[in-house]
């Protein structure tokens, strides 16, 4: 990773290729042109490059998008992208700032600190951008700020997908390997005609289209378990008629229906309709037990969060122009 | 519309549901006819370990692969028996979490653990 931005060689090669093909004046270029350049000049094949382009430009992958993507680049639901001949790419304002920083035209910008490496299979989780910048600014004001205060300022890891994080946070911030549970953000909607849990945020890397079928599979399994306990074990084989009969039975956990209402307009929205009178707290606990509503991730801040933040503050102290420009962009 | 924020789970009940889901997955597969041996972290957990498993590891012999494939299909996990037999070690995901399947010539030494009226064959090591 570079000291100036925290980005790796693959990300920087992609940014350079976008800059070389789309320019820096707000123009876009066809993705195929960028991929051709990436292979010819940087030696990185289009199959690898395309996934990095998607990552760096998607709000469900990273907090700070370095690219501005036009056309169908997939979605949080896990939809397939259009072919690169049908999409376009350009640098975002943050992407332009990153290249300016790498070219020493502005001071360091802690992109790697904010976006982490979890989105690309790494261990460092993402942080809330505003809190990260405020914490570094606080260290610039007072470099003796204790680690405990830094941890309170930085808060919990923050997922661009809106999911929640719990687990071994103490181990994580102490620089040890930590098992974290990423889970969905779930609210309750209770009206005279609806008793429902609504998922509006998900773990990082989980396509929302995986959640509805898995909830249904688990709900069906609960019914089958109940029937086994009642002595109705379908050891003779599950005929379509038996499955229809099972489907019509009330759910032992109070789950009536699951509707995926995720769209570009509403964002992530999965509605879990409960039976009237069902205990929503019990149902929510059950829902959270389903994979990938909650997933486990192994995370680490090498050296500890205090050490990582102090390193960034030390770099930014030399020239805080990059930090100030990034703060202006995200405000 | 009346909304209640419920995204701060204060009880540990859902954490325990996460901890037990690999065991639940093993139970589901055995109930559906799979003949497998639980190995790895789940085996340790079932034998009284303190660290809950990240995933379910299963060992299966080649003759039992079709039964496992059928059980997996019933819970929404689709893989061909020929693929499992060819690849030998495969990582899959299910509504109960990730699982690794290892196709073996011989199964490891194991014993029996009863879970939810189900008899699981669990490796000793």
Interface test with B, best of A253, A285, A298, A299 (most B CBs within 10 A): A285
For the sheet with A194-201, list strands across it.
A255-260, A270-274, A194-201, A185-191, B2-5
| Cβ pair A320, A140 in contact under 8 A | yes
With H, G, I as helix, E, B as strand and everything else as coil, classify residue A267.
Answer: strand
Interface test with B, best of A217, A226, A238, A269 (most B CBs within 10 A): A217
Percent of chain B with pLDDT over 90: 76
- Is residue A325 very low, low, confident or very high in pLDDT (cuts 50, 70, 90)? very high
Among B74, B69, B79, CA closest to A246: B74
| Cβ pair A57, A73 in contact under 8 A | yes
- The per-residue pLDDT for A238 is 67
- The per-residue pLDDT for B9 is 39
User: Do A189 and B98 make contact, defined as CB atoms within 8 angstroms?
Assistant: no
Among B31, B35, B33, B71, CA closest to A225: B31
Checking if the pLDDT of A316 tops 60, the result is: yes
Percent of chain A with pLDDT over 70: 98
Mean pLDDT score, A306-329: 95
Q: Is A197 on the interface with B (CB under 8 A)?
A: yes
Among B23, B11, B14, CA closest to B49: B23
Cα gap A297→A178, rounded to integer Å: 8
- The per-residue pLDDT for A224 is 85
Q: Which of B3, B7, B96 sits opposite A164 (nearest CB)?
A: B7
Q: With contacts defined as CB-CB under 8 Å, which chain B residues touch A285? A: 9, 11, 13-14, 17
Q: With contacts defined as CB-CB under 8 Å, which chain A residues touch B95? A: 213-215, 217-218, 221, 290-291
- DSSP H helical ranges for chain B: 13-19, 21-31, 40-46, 65-74, 81-87
Cα gap A50→A52, rounded to integer Å: 5
Among chain A residues, the shortest Cα distance to B12 is held by A285
Cα gap A283→A249, rounded to integer Å: 17
Measured CA to CA in angstroms, residue B81 lies from A43, B4, B15, B71, B90 at distances of: 39, 47, 34, 12, 11
Interface test with A, best of B7, B25, B26 (most A CBs within 10 A): B7
pLDDT digits (tens, 9 = 90+) for B17-74: 788 899 999 999 999 999 999 999 999 999 988 888 999 999 999 999 999 999 999 9
Indicate the average pLDDT of chain A: 93
């Amino acid at each position: 990773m570079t000291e100036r931005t925290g980005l790796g060689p693959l990300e920087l090669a992609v940014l350079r290729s976008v800059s070389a093909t789309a320019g820096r004046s707000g123009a876009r270029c066809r993705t195929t042109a960028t991929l051709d350049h990436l292979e010819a000049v940087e030696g990185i094949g289009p199959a690898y490059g395309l996934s990095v382009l998607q990552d760096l430009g998607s709000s469900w992958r990273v907090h700070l998008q370095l690219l501005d993507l036009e056309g169908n680049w997939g979605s949080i639901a896990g939809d397939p992208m259009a072919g690169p001949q049908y999409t376009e790419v350009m640098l975002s304002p943050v992407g332009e700032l990153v290249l300016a920083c790498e070219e020493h035209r502005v001071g360091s910008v802690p992109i790697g600190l904010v976006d982490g490496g979890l989105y690309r299979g790494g261990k460092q989780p993402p942080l809330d951008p505003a809190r990260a910048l405020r914490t570094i600014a606080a260290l610039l004001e007072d470099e003796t700020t204790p680690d405990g205060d830094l941890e309170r300022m930085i808060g919990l890891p923050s997922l661009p997908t809106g999911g929640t994080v719990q687990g071994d946070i103490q181990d994580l911030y102490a620089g040890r390997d930590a098992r974290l549970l990423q889970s969905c953000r779930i609210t309750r909607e209770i009206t005279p005609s609806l008793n429902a849990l609504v998922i509006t945020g998900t773990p990082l890397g989980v396509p929302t289209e995986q959640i509805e079928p898995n909830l249904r599979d688990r709900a069906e399994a609960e019914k089958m378990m109940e029937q086994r306990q009642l002595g109705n074990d379908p050891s003779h084989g599950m005929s379509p008629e038996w499955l229809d009969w099972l489907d019509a039975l009330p759910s032992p956990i109070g789950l009536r229906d699951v509707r995926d209402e995720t769209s570009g307009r509403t964002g992530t929205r999965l509605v879990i309709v409960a039976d009237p009178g069902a205990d929503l707290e019990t149902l929510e606990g059950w829902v959270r037990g389903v994979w990938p509503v909650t997933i486990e991730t192994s995370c680490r801040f090498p050296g500890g969060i205090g050490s990582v933040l102090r390193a960034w503050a030390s770099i930014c102290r030399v020239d805080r122009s990059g930090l100030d420009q990034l703060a202006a962009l995200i405000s | 519309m009346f909304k209640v924020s419920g995204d701060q789970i204060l009880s540990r009940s859902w954490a325990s549901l996460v901890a037990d889901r690999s065991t639940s997955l093993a139970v589901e597969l055995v109930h559906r006819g799979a003949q497998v041996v639980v190995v790895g972290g789940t085996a340790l957990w079932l034998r009284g370990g303190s660290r809950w498993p990240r995933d379910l590891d299963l060992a299966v012999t080649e003759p039992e692969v079709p039964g496992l494939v059928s059980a997996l299909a019933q819970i929404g996990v689709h893989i061909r028996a020929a693929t499992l037999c060819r690849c030998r070690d495969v990582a899959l995901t299910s509504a109960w979490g990730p699982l690794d399947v290892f196709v073996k010539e011989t199964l490891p030494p194991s014993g029996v653990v009863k879970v939810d009226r189900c008899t699981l064959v669990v490796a000793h090591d």
